[in-house]
Amino acid sequence: MNETALLIAIRTRLRQRKLPDQPPWRVSGEYASGGLCDGCGGRFTSAQASYFVDFSAGSTPESARFHRVCFDAWQRERELARTTAGDVKA
Ligand SMILES: [Zn+2]
């Protein structure tokens, strides 16, 4: 997946509230294969570092897993979504 497609995927998930727009409560890194990335929807392989992110209780979802690149993209898009929210001049 190229970077533009990744950003669109993450932006869409943020808008659909499949990914939280609030800061992570706890982030841990791991090398674990299997499972799907909540950012791009791709599969993890054991060679890829992934981030396991917990959010504060009550948020939806309460946790997410990302490839490193997807985690970075999510952080950027999340900040962007917060700073542009309510800006009607877009
Ligand atoms: Zn990913």
What is residue 21's predicted lDDT score, i.e. its pLDDT? 87
- Give me the number of domains the chain comprises: 1
Around ion ligand 1, residues with a beta carbon closer than 5 Å are 37, 39-40, 42, 67, 70
Q: Is 18 part of any domain?
A: yes
Nearest to 51 by CA among 77, 31, 73: 31
How far, in Å, is the centroid of ligand 1 from the Cα of 89?
A: 32
Tell me whether residue 74 is in a domain: yes
Tokens of 76: 């950027």
Domain assignment present for 56: yes
pLDDT for 87 equals 55
Strand ranges inside 1-90, DSSP E: 26-30, 50-54, 63-67
pLDDT at site 30: 79
Q: 89 lies in a domain?
A: no
- Cα–Cα–Cα angle for 20, 22, 27, nearest 5°? 85
The reply to whether 29 falls in a domain is yes
Residue type, 58: G
The rounded distance, in Å, linking the Cα atoms of 60 and 81 is: 17
Mean pLDDT, the chain cut into blocks of 10 residues (90 residues total): 90 92 90 86 86 87 92 93 62
What is the domain extent for residue 74? 3-84
Write down the pLDDT at residue 90.
44
Give me ligand 1 centre to Cα 17, in Å.
17
Residue 90 inside a domain? The answer is: no
